[in-house]
Amino acid sequence: MSRPDQILLSDLLRHRVRCDQGLDHGPGVMAWMHPPVHRLLGWVSRPSALRTTREVWRLDQWRGLSEQEAFVKGPPAEADLATLERLPTLMEADLLDRHGERLGSIADLAVVPATGQILHYLVCRSDPRLPGSSRWRLSPDRIVDQQPGQVTTALRELDELPLARASVRQDFLRRSRHWREQLQQMGDRAGERLEGWLEEPPWEGSGGDFDAELDDHDQERSQARWSEASSWEEEDWGDTWADEQPVRPDSPSSRRRDDDPDPWI
């Protein structure tokens, strides 16, 4: 059983503290930290709901972690509530922008158990006790000034920070914004293609060849029709046309043939 490389303070406080003597010292209730250097020194547990004293544990006393318990070695230091309230902390401090307007509050922090170094703070926009609310990651180098109960930054808005955990509402807004951007890009591409088709039609480059092929094809069809009509007239209508022509008395065709019988004999 070993400690993780990094852990959230909220995860540590959810575990009950058990010492090497096998005694249960209750769940964690608050952090013991040194804000000027952004370092976590330890945490505080509540051994009994009826007692007003609390037990303070150094971070180097932490030996391991199970699903429900944090194992420590050595005795704790006892402190009363009045003393603990005077300890400096950035937890639940208001986060201010460059104009001094409130952006949210610090709800959690990520720490390296081996050294106690705070990697980043987690900021929420609304009440941190609301389940499923969004968390933004605030690194210590983004902090301009810090005082009891408030942290000043150079931010304009909270969305300038990287999103560590999105709520259902925030995730829906982010996805819908992504969908709108995709639809806008698709519309722009379709408009560009339509403008290109209107300005440069695809039949401009091959128009002359297409017309020449069309003329040759029409000419061949016309010649075929003319040849067919000529042969049809010569074969079918040649004799009929000759028979129907009027016969002149002095024409050779009007002379009586030698083999025709003489109607007067």
Cβ–Cβ under 8 Å, residues 128 and 113: no
Task: State phi, psi for 17 to the nearest 5 degrees.
Answer: -90, 130
Q: How far apart are the first and last CA of the chain?
A: 149
Measured distance CA(227)–CA(207) in Å, rounded = 30
What percent of the chain lies above the pLDDT cut of 70? Answer: 65
pLDDT score for 52: 85
SS3 (DSSP) at 87? coil
Amino acid at 199: E
Question: Mean of the per-residue pLDDT values for the chain?
Answer: 78
Residue 230 has pLDDT above 70, yes or no: no
Residue 31 has pLDDT above 80, yes or no: yes
Give me the mean pLDDT over the 44-68 stretch.
91
Residue 221 has pLDDT above 60, yes or no: yes
Let me know the angle formed at the C-alpha of 50 by 47 and 51, rounded to the nearest 5 degrees.
60
pTM above 0.85, yes or no: no
pLDDT score for 113: 92
Cβ–Cβ under 8 Å, residues 62 and 113: yes
Give me the mean pLDDT over the 72-97 stretch.
92
